[in-house]
């Protein structure tokens, strides 16, 4: 597929938007992407799924710490296009309850570096311009994922901070979350706690040792999120939600008949230290992919 089929938006944040991001920890820009761009990404993902052989791997994605199991397939996915199933995808006999296209939780974590179309979208100069406006000196993409939030079985994602899973010193993670389809209260839109990023990072998910498959969750700060402070972030198709790495957020299970596809890119500042304990490590030790230089700054 030619990458010039992707129509990219332009975006220059206002002073108020930048202030909102720093004060609240997130920023919503509704209907930023042309609908056609969402459709092209979605249909390209459909093609990738058609070429996936589910008999080769059955890795399930969950954010539930009690049942989380890290496996080699997951740990090796930083620079691959890997497929992770929904927890509820299989029946008691281990067979898929529904078609493969409706069974995948997410695809990641190297779409931005391994797939030509997602690379063109993810590394576009418009994003480096935005990230620089938010204070990043040298923005680089480190992780990407296409999230399906499948109808009926799309699993809950517990309240978390993205910097738990992607840590830099000093803190620099920013998430760019794109609604490929409309995200509603019914199909599992994002929820977050405005200003919650100011509490600081509560936990770190680390490899027990560099190169180890074993991981551990390390508590940095004892704090219980107050669910009554959660606000829903339903957004139309094509919207961008920018998330500070310490912004607490979640999404509930999708029990509706509508999927809620989203694509997320996580960026870090190359000027910051990227520890070997982060689970996400590229096999060639180059985890960071620079964005194209902004043209508007």
Residue placing its CB nearer to Fe ion in the complex, 136 or 166: 166
CA angle 50, 32, 196 (to 5 degrees): 95
Q: How far is the CB of 164 from Fe ion (least distance, A)?
A: 9
Residue 11 belongs to what H/E stretch? none
Residue placing its CB nearer to Fe ion in the complex, 86 or 162: 162
Q: How far is the CB of 144 from Fe ion (least distance, A)?
A: 13
Segment lying near Fe ion (by CB under 5 A), choices 29-37, 46-54, 160-168, 220-228: 160-168
Residue placing its CB nearer to Fe ion in the complex, 246 or 277: 246
Q: How far is the CB of 142 from Fe ion (least distance, A)?
A: 14
Q: How far is the CB of 91 from Fe ion (least distance, A)?
A: 29
> Parallel, antiparallel, or unpaired for β 139-147 and 249-251?
unpaired
Residue placing its CB nearer to Fe ion in the complex, 117 or 150: 150
Question: Closest by alpha carbon to 254, among 155, 107, 147, 145?
Answer: 155
Q: How far is the CB of 161 from Fe ion (least distance, A)?
A: 8
Segment lying near Fe ion (by CB under 5 A), choices 4-12, 30-38, 157-165, 191-199: 157-165
Q: How far apart are the C-alpha atoms of 127 and 242, rounded to whole Å?
A: 11
Segment lying near Fe ion (by CB under 5 A), choices 158-166, 203-211, 255-263, 279-287: 158-166
Q: How far apart are the C-alpha atoms of 150 and 102, rounded to whole Å?
A: 6
Tokens standing for residue 186: 């019914």
Residue placing its CB nearer to Fe ion in the complex, 85 or 191: 191
Q: How far apart are the C-alpha atoms of 49 and 107, rounded to whole Å?
A: 9
Total residues binding Fe ion (CB under 5 A): 1
Segment lying near Fe ion (by CB under 5 A), choices 67-75, 96-104, 161-169, 283-291: 161-169
Q: How far is the CB of 160 from Fe ion (least distance, A)?
A: 6
Does position 246 interact with Fe ion (CB under 5 A)? The reply is no
Does position 79 interact with Fe ion (CB under 5 A)? The reply is no
Q: How far is the CB of 25 from Fe ion (least distance, A)?
A: 12
For tokens 């979605």, the residue is 42
Alpha-carbon torsion angle 116, 117, 118, 122, nearest 10 = 90
Residue placing its CB nearer to Fe ion in the complex, 6 or 24: 24
Interacting residues of 212 by C-beta distance below 8 A, sequence separation 6+: none
Residue 231 neighbours by CB distance under 10 Å: 11
> In DSSP terms, which residues pair with 154 in a beta bridge?
254
Residue placing its CB nearer to Fe ion in the complex, 162 or 181: 162
- From first CA to last CA, the distance across the chain in angstroms is 30
Question: Closest by alpha carbon to 150, among 96, 81, 95, 101?
Answer: 101
CB 159, CB 249: distance < 8 Å: yes
Q: How far is the CB of 245 from Fe ion (least distance, A)?
A: 9
Segment lying near Fe ion (by CB under 5 A), choices 18-26, 156-164, 227-235, 287-295: 156-164
Task: Using CB positions, name the residue nearest to Fe ion.
Answer: 162
Q: How far apart are the C-alpha atoms of 228 and 119, rounded to whole Å?
A: 38
Does position 162 interact with Fe ion (CB under 5 A)? The reply is yes
Q: Residues interacting with Fe ion, by CB under 5 A?
A: 162
């Amino acid at each position: 597929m030619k990458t010039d089929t992707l129509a990219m938006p332009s975006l220059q944040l206002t002073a108020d938007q930048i202030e909102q991001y720093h004060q609240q920890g997130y920023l919503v820009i509704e209907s930023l992407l042309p609908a056609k761009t969402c459709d092209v990404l979605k249909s390209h993902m459909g093609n990738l799924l058609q070429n996936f052989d589910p008999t080769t791997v059955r890795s399930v994605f969950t954010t539930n710490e009690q049942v989380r199991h890290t496996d080699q397939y997951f740990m090796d996915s930083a620079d691959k296009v890997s497929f992770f199933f929904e927890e509820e995808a299989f029946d008691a006999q281990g067979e898929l309850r529904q078609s493969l296209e409706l069974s995948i939780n997410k695809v990641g974590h190297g779409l931005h570096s391994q797939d030509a179309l997602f690379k063109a979208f993810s590394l576009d100069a418009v994003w480096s311009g935005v990230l620089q406006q938010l204070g990043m000196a040298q923005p680089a993409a480190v992780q990407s994922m296409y999230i399906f939030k499948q109808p009926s079985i799309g699993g809950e994602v517990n309240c978390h901070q993205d910097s738990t899973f992607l840590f830099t010193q000093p803190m620099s993670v920013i998430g760019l979350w794109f609604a490929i389809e409309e995200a509603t209260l019914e199909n599992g839109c994002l929820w977050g706690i405005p200003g919650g990023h100011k509490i600081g990072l509560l936990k770190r998910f680390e490899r027990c040792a560099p190169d180890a498959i074993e991981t551990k969750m390390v508590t940095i700060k004892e704090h219980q999120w107050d669910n009554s402070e959660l606000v829903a972030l339903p957004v139309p198709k094509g919207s961008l939600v920018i998330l500070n790495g310490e912004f607490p957020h979640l999404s509930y299970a999708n029990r509706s008949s509508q999927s809620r596809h989203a694509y997320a890119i996580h960026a870090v500042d190359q000027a910051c230290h990227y520890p070997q304990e982060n689970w996400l490590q590229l096999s060639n030790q180059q985890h960071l992919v620079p964005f194209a230089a902004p043209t508007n700054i």
